[in-house]
Amino acid sequence: MPAVSFFSDLSAEFLGEYHAEHPVQASSLGLARYDDLLDDLSEEGFERRRRSDDRWLARFRAVDPTTLSFDEAIDRDLLIASLTERAIYDEWESWRRNPDTYMNPGLEGVFILFLHRLRPEVDLVRSAVARLRGIPAQLDAGRANLRPEPG
């Protein structure tokens, strides 16, 4: 398989997984199929995403940039930089320290639906209600995950 097709397929696979794990961000990008969902903010959700990021970082690093087009090599480097940044933040476990982690996705997730208005209002309202119903689970995750700073 040519490198161009391979990298395109690899990137598409990564983005598909990423959007499924970050539905609020996917909605902000205009991907309406995620509009009823909120991010999984459980400890397992954060750990699953960290493990996935580690695997993706290794996969993108393994791609030889000399086999890629100029644009693909830039995309590869950008993905590596983004995944490296997330790995750095993952070590700090901000999801254990920052209460905004649990408030913002639900509130932003509803706001973003009406900001873009990519679907009929009745559909947006249904999605907003679905997201609002998910907020208590996110707050429960926050209560379970947040730890006071070491004093």
- Please give the pLDDT value at position 24: 97
CB-CB contact of 31 with 96 (8 Å):
no
- Asked if the model's pLDDT at residue 1 lies above 70, the reply is no
Angle CA 1–52–68, to nearest 5: 30
Dump pLDDT digits (tens) for 92-142.
999 999 999 999 999 999 999 999 899 999 999 999 999 999 999 999 999
* Mean pLDDT within 46-59: 98
Q: Rounded to whole angstroms, how far apart are CA atoms 73 and 21?
A: 25
Q: What percent of the chain has pLDDT over 70?
A: 96
- Asked if the model's pLDDT at residue 3 lies above 50, the reply is no
Q: Rounded to whole angstroms, how far apart are CA atoms 50 and 141?
A: 17
